[in-house]
């Protein structure tokens, strides 16, 4: 069966995620079918589908969503994914699993697969799940062993809802980006409410070491950040750089599923929707990113250098740090705790958000780097290919450090169509010797 022929069937998603074909070489892992898959097929064929709001109320977010005002609840209900997405998550993961959601489309699925191969080589146990924006993409990812979700009906519903909020009709230049952000926002929220720890990643990212090694164990959010001058997209978050603005990158972020994180995600979604309605859309084509940074500016988040709580000789995190991770070091990371109360869902008077920043000098977000940095990236690639797990710590290579991740988003706002942009990103990965397909 082809993806196109199955668009109208309720079990389009089950067939897609239930087919597990030969993977690319031996690098891309294939998830095997588990009991939830069998359960869903046997029961959903003769039962009416539950409403999106009913499913959310039955999840770990139930008490939170039941206390939301009618307006906010109505707005959220309009963009919640239906039961098919919940089943997709449950078919391919279990509660408390670390999953990676990668949204992708026909122009970027090869980069997503490249990322999957690198993670496999790095020994990551993250369960990769693709969230596609067209059915053809799913056919490609499933053929390589990556479970994929695409729901044509939900996608069209989101387009209709956004059109109402933005007072616009029909496709317009850039409308797909707005749908991507809506899909990303709601799939992340639902997956976390269903008990999964969600690592959200853009498709144009590559990790040379398992990123979970650097996630602080007791933070709600672990995210990448980059200096950027546009204050609409950034804030003065770094305590040791008071005159410099950084953007918290919602394209590479890990959410630890718990009550506070779920409250944050629901609040962020509600704030995004309110902003879209008030502004009659998103003229800057970045509402999720700008709202994310705005919300943290509003609560005056400050993150502090982890080097201040690390041993200056070994660069290892000290017991007094109050933060720990699998790597045992995060010398160029940042961390911060800020009191936080939601204005959308009930939160305790003592609630706080704990935020970590991935290594800032070992994760670059650019396609233009100095020659020496390029050499380090290439050397990191060779170590990954050899599965060399040594000397990845801070300064362990004669005072220098291997690269941990690169993000080819320097072309994100370049001119040209999607094909041109994505081709430029692929060329960048070839240039740094980090194309594994």
Domains in the chain: boundaries: 72-182, 188-298, 340-416+424-436
Q: Which band of pLDDT confidence, cut at 50, 70 and 90, is reported for residue 142?
A: very high
DSSP β-bridge partners for residue 357: 223, 334
Q: What percent of the chain has pLDDT over 90?
A: 76
Please tell me the distance from the alpha carbon of residue 168 to that of residue 160, in angstroms, as a whole number. Answer: 9
Mean pLDDT of the chain: 87
Q: Which band of pLDDT confidence, cut at 50, 70 and 90, is reported for residue 216?
A: very high
pLDDT of 57 > 90? The answer is yes
In which element (H, E) is residue 100 found?
A: strand 98-104
In this structure, CATH architecture of domain 72-182: 3-Layer(aba) Sandwich (3.40)
pLDDT of 350 > 50? The answer is yes
pLDDT of 32 > 90? The answer is no
pLDDT of 22 > 70? The answer is no
**Of 317, 310, 315, the residue nearest 396 (C-alpha):** 315
End-to-end C-alpha distance for the chain, whole angstroms: 26
CA distances from 397 to 202, 307, 393 (A): 29, 18, 9
CB atoms within 10 A of CB 231: 12
Report CA 229 to chain centroid distance, whole Å.
23
**Of 100, 96, 89, the residue nearest 36 (C-alpha):** 89
Tell me the pLDDT tens digit for each residue of 298-308. Answer: 999 999 999 99
Cα angle 267, 233, 247 (rounded to 5 degrees) comes to 90
pLDDT of 401 > 50? The answer is yes
pLDDT of 138 > 90? The answer is yes
Please tell me the distance from the alpha carbon of residue 278 to that of residue 270, in angstroms, as a whole number. Answer: 12
Q: What is the DSSP letter of 53?
A: H
Residue 391: per-residue pLDDT: 93
pLDDT of 287 > 50? The answer is yes
Residue 90: per-residue pLDDT: 97
Tell me the pLDDT tens digit for each residue of 118-136. Answer: 999 999 999 999 999 999 9
Please tell me the distance from the alpha carbon of residue 318 to that of residue 399, in angstroms, as a whole number. Answer: 20
Q: Which band of pLDDT confidence, cut at 50, 70 and 90, is reported for residue 369?
A: confident
pLDDT of 195 > 50? The answer is yes
pLDDT of 385 > 80? The answer is yes
More confident residue, 34 or 394: 394
Residue 12: per-residue pLDDT: 42
| Best-predicted range by mean pLDDT (45-49, 301-305, 374-378) | 301-305
Which residue bears the tokens 């490249």?
Answer: 114
Extended strands (E) in 344-388: 352-357, 363-364
Residue 39: per-residue pLDDT: 28
Extended strands (E) in 218-331: 221-227, 246-255, 304-305
Q: Which band of pLDDT confidence, cut at 50, 70 and 90, is reported for residue 47?
A: low
| Cα atoms found within 13 Å of the Cα of residue 88, Cβ hemisphere only | 30
Sort residue 420 into left (φ over 0), alpha (ψ -120 to 50) or beta. Answer: alpha
Lowest-confidence segment of 101-115, 137-151, 167-181, 305-319 by average pLDDT: 167-181
Coil vs helix vs strand at 196: coil
Residue 292: per-residue pLDDT: 97
| Best-predicted range by mean pLDDT (54-58, 173-177, 416-420) | 54-58
Residue 48: per-residue pLDDT: 65
DSSP character string of 421-436? HHHHHHHHHHHTT---
Coil vs helix vs strand at 397: strand
- Do the strands 405-407 and 334-339 form a parallel or antiparallel pair, or are they unpaired? unpaired
pLDDT of 17 > 90? The answer is no
| Best-predicted range by mean pLDDT (44-48, 169-173, 198-202) | 198-202
User: Measured on CA atoms in the order 147, 30, 144, 198, is the torsion positive or negative?
Assistant: positive
* Residue pair 215/325 in contact by the 8 Å Cβ criterion: yes
Burial class (CB within 10 angstroms; exposed 0-12, middle 13-18, buried 19+) of 275: middle
For 301, the token pair is 């988040």
Q: Which band of pLDDT confidence, cut at 50, 70 and 90, is reported for residue 342?
A: very high
Residue 169: per-residue pLDDT: 72
Q: Which band of pLDDT confidence, cut at 50, 70 and 90, is reported for residue 319?
A: confident
């Amino acid at each position: 069966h082809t993806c196109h022929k199955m668009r109208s069937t309720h079990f389009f998603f089950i067939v897609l995620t239930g087919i597990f074909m030969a993977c690319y070489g031996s690098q891309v892992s294939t998830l095997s079918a588990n009991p939830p898959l069998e359960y869903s097929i046997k029961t959903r064929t003769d039962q009416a589908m539950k409403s999106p709001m009913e499913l959310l109320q039955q999840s770990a977010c139930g008490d939170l969503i039941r206390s939301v005002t009618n307006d906010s609840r109505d707005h959220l209900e309009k963009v919640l994914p239906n039961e098919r997405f919940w089943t997709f998550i449950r078919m391919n993961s279990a509660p408390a699993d670390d999953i990676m959601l990668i949204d992708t489309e026909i122009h970027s699925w090869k980069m997503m697969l490249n990322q999957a191969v690198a993670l496999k080589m790095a020994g990551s146990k993250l369960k990769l799940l693709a969230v596609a924006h067209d059915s053809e993409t799913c056919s490609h990812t499933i053929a390589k062993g990556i479970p994929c979700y695409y729901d044509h009906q939900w996608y069209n519903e989101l387009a209709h809802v956004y059109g109402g909020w933005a007072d616009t009709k029909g496709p317009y230049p850039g409308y797909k980006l707005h749908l991507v952000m809506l899909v990303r926002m709601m799939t992340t929220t639902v997956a976390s409410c269903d008990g999964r720890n969600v690592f959200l990643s853009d498709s144009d990212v590559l990790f040379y070491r398992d990123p979970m090694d650097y996630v602080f164990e007791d933070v709600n959010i672990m995210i990448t950040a980059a200096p950027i001058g546009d204050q609409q997209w950034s804030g003065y978050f770094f305590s040791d750089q008071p005159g410099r603005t950084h953007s918290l990158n919602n394209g590479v972020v890990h959410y630890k599923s718990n009550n506070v994180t779920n409250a944050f995600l629901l609040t962020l979604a509600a704030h995004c929707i309110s902003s879209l309605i008030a502004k009659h859309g998103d003229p800057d084509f970045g509402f999720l990113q700008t709202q994310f940074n705005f919300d943290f500016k509003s609560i005056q988040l400050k993150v502090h250098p982890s080097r201040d709580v690390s041993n200056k000789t070994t660069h290892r995190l000290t017991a007094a740090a109050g933060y720990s991770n699998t790597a045992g070091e995060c010398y160029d990371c940042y961390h911060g705790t800020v009191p936080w109360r939601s204005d959308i869902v009930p939160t305790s008077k003592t609630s706080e958000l704990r935020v970590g920043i991935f290594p800032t000098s070992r994760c670059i977000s650019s396609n233009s780097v100095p020659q020496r940095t390029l050499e380090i990236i290439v050397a990191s690639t060779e170590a990954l290919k050899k599965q060399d797990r040594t000397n990845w710590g801070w300064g362990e290579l004669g005072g220098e450090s291997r690269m941990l991740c690169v993000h080819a988003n320097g072309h994100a706002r370049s001119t040209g169509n999607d094909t041109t942009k994505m081709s430029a990103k692929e060329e960048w990965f070839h240039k740094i010797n980090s194309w594994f397909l």
